[in-house]
Amino acid sequence: MRERRRLRMGVLALVSLLLLGAVPLYFGMRTLSRDPVFDTLDALDVPAWAEKKTVDNVSGSRWCLQDCRLRERAVESEQGWEQTVAVYEQALAKDGWRRWSVERCPEEKVEGSYTCWRRDELTLDLWVRDPACTPPPIDGAPAPSAPTAPAAATCTGSLVSVKVRNAIDDERTGPTPTTDPSLTGEDPFPTLTDDPLGEATPSPS
């Protein structure tokens, strides 16, 4: 009886240790697999109609090994882009993000609204625009140049794209290169001619 009691106590102790270790291990693996930036985006105070369908994508290393992490989120909204961008900008400002006026925001002119934001060590690009109403190809056939009337009825709402990067990896946070002669000085090398070999120097007679 004493041996059975010891065996039972040993089994209970082993099970308790496994349970106590499994819970921290579970949450630790969950933390490593889930980027906390996406949790921050999930916590944005936007209405349900502004985040009907969400698709996340992540690339790069969280510790900036070779490439820093890039977080991308695509969201579908039931309202037009004007109403959608208003609620997203209000939610970002409420969450501590600040508008960031910087060149190359965006890189080139786009439709809809494209704004940039900063908070702590992160930068955020917010692009809200109308959805692409052209229906996809069917059985390899090319898509029509303009949507038909029935398809246009289903093409409503707007699309939201969010990109979050580490500020140290965002080239827009660094100084802009300049070619000001006062900073670079004079060119010490002579101007080259069109002749790659140059002109022959006459030898003294």
Distance CA 85, CA 83 (A): 6
What confidence score (pLDDT) does residue 3 get?
A: 77
> CA torsion sign, 34 to 37 to 38 to 44?
positive
Where in the chain does DSSP place strands (E)? 53-59, 70-77, 98-99, 113-119, 122-129, 158-166
Give the C-alpha separation, 135 to 146, whole Å. 9
* CB-CB contact of 74 with 161 (8 Å): yes
Confidence at residue 152, expressed as pLDDT on a 0 to 100 scale: 40
pTM for this predicted structure: 0.63
**130-137: long-range contacts, CB 8 A cutoff, minimum separation 24:** 130/80, 130/81, 130/158, 130/159, 131/76, 131/155, 131/156, 131/157, 131/158, 131/159, 132/159
Q: What is the pLDDT along the chain (205 residues), one digit of tens a residue?
A: 777 777 777 777 777 776 666 555 434 444 445 789 999 999 999 999 999 999 999 998 777 777 788 999 999 999 999 999 999 999 999 999 999 999 999 989 999 999 999 999 999 999 999 998 755 555 555 544 443 433 444 678 999 999 999 999 899 987 655 555 555 454 444 444 454 444 455 555 4
Task: Provide the β-strand partners of residue 74.
Answer: 55, 161
For residue 160 the two structure tokens come to 């939201």
